[in-house]
Amino acid sequence: MIYINGKFIAQRTTGVQRFSLGIISALDRSLQADPCGHDVELLLPPGSDSIPGLLSISQRIIGRSGRSLNLWEQLDLPANARDGTLICLSGSSPLLARNCITTMHDAAIYMYPRAYSRLFVAWYRLLFARLARRSPFVLTVSKSSAFDLSLHLPSTQFRVVPNSAEHIINKPADPTLIEQMHLRPKGFLLAVGSINPTKNFSALIEAYASSYLAERFPLLIVGAFNNNVFGKCVSLKNHPNIKWAGAVSDTQLRALYENAALFIFPSLYEGFGIPPLEAMLCGCPVAASNSSSIPEVCGNAAHYFEPRDINDMKNAIELILKNDDYRSMLIERGYDRAHAFSWDHAAMCLRSALSEFNVIDH
């Protein structure tokens, strides 16, 4: 029996939740065409909505109502999955689960611990160490992330199951936010991410403010801050032409990508980094940091800059905005690059890893 951790269904949607939903939906399609020799069941917390359209993966609500999601994951989930293998796709897993395949999306808790609360770092370091010792292999989302994690979990075998950005074009764009924020189509810059020091928004704001183009192109920053995870809030400068959108829907985000003159991704560290692929799939040129997994994901479809070099970032922004031919080339390459990542391919990678370690039939 194969069980899948459904905790992500009850959480706010970020990259790891998108990964979980994308993989499960694609895995269900794969199992319809080619069964794996085992029943597969998604275990959900009380009060959760099931995923519509699943035909080969069954869904069941388990556990005691009123428990926190963390307690549900640590107590109810392993108790209901003890007769099979539990697959956890969204980063966290039960500490005491016997047969558990976990997904570690990045090594940020080791490389940038100050970006998180001390309790968060201590818990995940304990969890990762224990799971790595007990699991036959660990899933992650890029070769870069596998390498970073291997430095801290050296005896662990990693298998890569990449992300996709296909979700961003599943629903029509909603342009209402563009109107509400008084933005002109192709007349603003866009950045997307949680307000975490590793996202490097303070450097982006400094680079933006130093450019003469800041008077012509507003900078819109999309993302929500999570006080329960992040420690001290990154210090952000105010600028009269910087707009903050907070969290937005996928339909609103699609419209922003489609109407932005440039998407900027200044992150210091990413295990994968979905937003650049989302922007590419929506026809928006990308300027991105040259750190961690970002070049692996974006390939030749982005203009790279050194994220700690304010002048380099500023020059990248100005170069792309001033050169229409270069922008057009980035847009064309971006379409091709983004289409190279699909959830169906990711589900094949997952099945290959599970088959390699005899979790499912070949």
Residues 328 and 310 in one domain: yes
Q: Give the pLDDT mean for 111-119.
A: 93
- DSSP string covering 219-259: EEEE----TTT-SSPPP----TTEEEEES--HHHHHHHHHH
pLDDT for residue 234: 43
Measured CA distances, 92 to 85, 144, 243, 311, 362 (Å): 16, 20, 33, 38, 27
What is the spatial distance between Cα 355 and Cα 362, in angstroms, rounded to a whole number? 5
pLDDT digits over 41-50, tens only? 999 999 999 9
What is the spatial distance between Cα 9 and Cα 34, in angstroms, rounded to a whole number? 26
pLDDT digits over 296-306, tens only? 999 999 999 99
Question: Using an 8 Å Cβ cutoff, are 271 and 105 in contact?
Answer: yes
Compute the C-alpha angle 54/58/62, nearest 5°: 125
Residues 250 and 152 in one domain: no
In a domain, 301, yes or no: yes
Residues 287 and 308 in one domain: yes
Q: Give the pLDDT mean for 186-212.
A: 92
pLDDT for residue 207: 95
Domain span holding position 48: 2-164+342-356
In a domain, 158, yes or no: yes
How would you class 362 by CB atoms within 10 Å of its CB: exposed for 0-12, middle for 13-18, buried for 19 or more? Answer: exposed
In a domain, 362, yes or no: no
Compute the C-alpha angle 347/350/355, nearest 5°: 125
Q: Which residue has the higher pLDDT, 225 or 303?
A: 303
Quote the number of domains for the chain: 2
Instruction: Check pLDDT > 70 for residue 333.
Output: yes
For residue 181, the 8-state DSSP code is T
230 pLDDT tier (thresholds 50, 70, 90): very low
Residues 159 and 195 in one domain: no
226 pLDDT tier (thresholds 50, 70, 90): low
Residues 346 and 307 in one domain: no
pLDDT digits over 278-298, tens only? 999 999 999 999 999 999 999
Instruction: Check pLDDT > 60 for residue 143.
Output: yes
362 pLDDT tier (thresholds 50, 70, 90): low
Residues 6+ apart with CB under 8 A from 40: 2, 3, 4, 27, 31, 56, 57, 58
Place of tokens 């847009």: 331
Residues 137 and 177 in one domain: no
Minimum mean pLDDT range among 99-113, 123-137, 228-242, 325-339? 228-242
CB burial readout 267-281, b (16+ within 10 A) else e: bbbbbbbbbbbbbbb
Instruction: Check pLDDT > 60 for residue 254.
Output: yes
CB burial readout 167-191, b (16+ within 10 A) else e: bbbeeebbbebbeeeebeeeebbbb
Q: Give the pLDDT mean for 50-60.
A: 97
237 pLDDT tier (thresholds 50, 70, 90): low
- Per cent of the chain over pLDDT 70 is 96
Instruction: Check pLDDT > 90 for residue 232.
Output: no
Residues 203 and 335 in one domain: yes
In a domain, 59, yes or no: yes
What is the distance, to the nearest Å, from the Cα of residue 123 to the centroid of all Cα atoms in its chain? Answer: 21
Instruction: Check pLDDT > 80 for residue 123.
Output: yes
pLDDT for residue 229: 41
In a domain, 102, yes or no: yes
Q: Give the pLDDT mean for 89-113.
A: 94
Residues 156 and 180 in one domain: no
Question: Using an 8 Å Cβ cutoff, are 167 and 274 in contact?
Answer: no
pLDDT for residue 233: 41
Instruction: Check pLDDT > 70 for residue 236.
Output: no
Classify the C-alpha dihedral 34-40-41-42 as positive or negative: negative
- Per cent of the chain over pLDDT 90 is 88
Question: Using an 8 Å Cβ cutoff, are 346 and 311 in contact?
Answer: no
Residues 11 and 153 in one domain: yes
pLDDT for residue 196: 84
Classify the C-alpha dihedral 59-65-70-71 as positive or negative: negative
Question: Using an 8 Å Cβ cutoff, are 112 and 269 in contact?
Answer: yes
Name the CA dihedral angle for 88, 352, 126, 11, rounded to a multiple of 10 degrees: -30
In a domain, 361, yes or no: no
Place of tokens 């170069």: 319
Residues 151 and 19 in one domain: yes
pTM of the predicted protein model? 0.93
Average pLDDT of the chain, as a whole number: 93
In a domain, 125, yes or no: yes
Q: Which of 307, 349, 356, 355 is nearest to 142 (CA)?
A: 349
In a domain, 28, yes or no: yes
CATH number for the domain including 85? 3.40.50.2000
pLDDT for residue 225: 57
Residues 231 and 294 in one domain: yes
Residues 220 and 156 in one domain: no
